[in-house]
Chain A
């Protein structure tokens, strides 16, 4: 365990505590106070992100510590936009996601600042990683909806029922996932001479993308007839994403060009 007794660490732990209290308040039917604390947690997470950016002198999306810091920051805006425009419930779930995403940053990964290696000094660095981060948080939210569907949970009044909510969130996240894959491919051509290098991380990200393609085709074919199958496919997509994000970088089984993210 890597406990961080630094200003960066304190910012992370404060965000986590704020998200945790917000979660407890929300599930105890104090939704308004919960939302206010969620917003406060978001502000602190932005401070943590900006502090890191200044500390390392580049956009903090280089290694897994920074990636999780970024992911946790995205929970609040995605939660709010989903509620406002897509009628999707689940603030409590989003607060929980934020807290879970900060666990690796707070306690697992080292925060030692690193210079950007030559391969990462590209105008595509920020867009490629950022759209992936956005899509991952959205797909995480879709997974929670898919679990709600599998557990036969009912929707709150005025919000979408879980199967439709899952579909609509996957629809929101999938273009980001596609853009991430394509920007990575264009970057690969610029940096490594080929738009596709058959690198393990590339192949796992292609596999995650294909799972969602399968989800769309299956849902087109069967509609909501096999709602559980739809949910299982959405959850499988997230499992593949987690493998793409973590296993490929943490396991020696998949050594490849993306190893600097370690």
Chain B
């Protein structure tokens, strides 16, 4: 082997050895410090040397050009290194200085559902800066989805006794005379108690209750007329003034202000009047009417609440159990809520906790033009593994949190990454992969087997 070839090969072996050692060293540093290490000046020189050596290899070893598989592998490596260096934080710093342009490498956008912004937070801590994207990012909705049913954890406070079971209906655990027994009746993704409208005439024994489904009407007799439900709100809000007067509407966020819009239809053909009945404030709809209204949770004949699963409109996960006390006797129903700490049942030593695993985080993201009409140019339900791509940037579902002021509203954090150099890297991956498969599976294996056959 001529001297120059030998030297290039030796240099290659030394560089491969060095990169292996650096990789192992980086693994001990942890991701953040490793990133800084591999973006440092000495390592940038090392990567560049690698690039030079690959090119030198091509010049010295004709075989690397002549054999297509080897050409693919080494060209692929060159493309990956170019893309990597170009897109790296060091590469971006150099580009900023040389081309005098303001590049946003990566950053974060934090938004509550219904909000929009073009501002992006770049860097952290002392280096944190606010920059402007060339478009507007809007979030319509953010939600967390879970696997259902979750797991029920059962413990005996003060002891080390602990059990767990998947909350599949009819699954049960029997602890005999020691702790009794637990059986799962059903699970709820969003437990709600059926609410009804209760109507009374104070001072008289007259009382009625009616369903709150829209357009339900109840006749209260000849002297009182009838009541008709128009709309039911989970979170009632009203606009004040404006064209067409005040408008009631359903506000986003958790249901904290349940209300009903009803129509009081007086007897004898008088004009019906519209009223609002609030869960939080029972009483007369208007001072002229003898009727008193209460919008509240309904119970069945035995006094039990009427629970139902209102899937999709909230997140009040719960499981309904039948708990038998250690002393025996009839099993008593009991609800365990995910969002509340468990507490022991009277007569039973057991404490419960219900937990579900998160299956997905989803933000409905829209990209709008910065022009006055704010026209939407693209939109996507951004979830883990499904980023949105627009204008050279990828938007990822990154994190979330709850309003620190206690409104209960959730916000989403989207991470935004500039994808410069990605094309080079992925093209390099493809070339390298094809080349390696060709070289190893076709050429090398065939060569050895052919030699053996001879």
Contact = CB atoms under 8 A, between A and B. Distances in A.
A210 B19 contact: yes
A117 B19 CA distance: 33
A160 interface: yes
A194 B417 contact: yes
Contact of A190 (B19, B38, B387, B425): B387
A42 B9 CA distance: 44
B24 interface: yes
A164 to B, nearest CB: 6
Given A182-B429, A256-B31, A221 B9 contact: yes
A171 interface: yes
B16 A118 contact: no
B454 interface: no
B106 A193 contact: yes
Please classify the interface of chain A as helix (H, G, I), strand (E, B), loop, or mixed, using the class held by over half of its residues.
helix
Interface residues of A, number: 55
B13 A214 contact: yes
Contacts of A195: 422, 425-426
A200 interface: yes
Contacts of B208: none
Contacts of A197: 31, 35
Contact of A118 (B10, B12, B30, B359): B359
A46 to B, nearest CB: 25
A199 to B, nearest CB: 5
B385 A178 contact: no
A206 interface: yes
A210 B384 contact: no
A178 B436 contact: yes
B437 to A, nearest CB: 4
Interface stretch (B93-101, B263-271, B316-324, B441-449): B441-449
Given A87-B449, A194-B417, A204 B433 contact: no
A122 B385 contact: yes
A172 B441 contact: yes
Given A174-B436, A196-B84, A198-B34, A168 B444 contact: yes
Given A164-B448, A175-B441, A210-B19, A193 B387 contact: yes
Tell which of B20, B23, B422, B433 has the most Cβ of chain A within 10 Å. B23
B147 interface: yes
Nearest to A160: B452
B445 A168 contact: yes
B67 interface: no
Nearest to B386: A190
B421 to A, nearest CB: 10
Contact of B452 (A87, A214, A256): A87
Given A168-B445, A185-B429, A193-B396, A118 B360 contact: yes
A14 interface: no
B16 A213 contact: yes
Contacts, number: 142
A138 B224 CA distance: 86
Contact of A86 (B30, B396, B398, B449): B449
Given A207-B24, A217-B16, A119 B9 contact: no
25 contacts: A115-B147, A115-B359, A117-B358, A118-B358, A121-B359, A179-B437, A187-B385, A190-B385, A193-B394, A193-B398, A193-B415, A198-B31, A198-B38, A200-B28, A200-B34, A203-B23, A206-B23, A214-B13, A214-B20, A218-B13, A220-B9, A221-B10, A253-B28, A254-B27, A257-B31
A154 to B, nearest CB: 15
Contact of A119 (B147, B384, B415): B384
B440 interface: yes
Q: Looking at A86, A197, A203, which has the most chain B CB atoms within 10 Å of its CB? A: A203
B17 interface: yes
Given A171-B440, A200-B34, 12 more contacts: A87-B449, A115-B357, A117-B358, A118-B383, A168-B448, A178-B433, A179-B437, A198-B31, A200-B30, A214-B20, A221-B13, A254-B30
Nearest to A218: B13
Interface string A49-80: 00000000000000000000000000000000
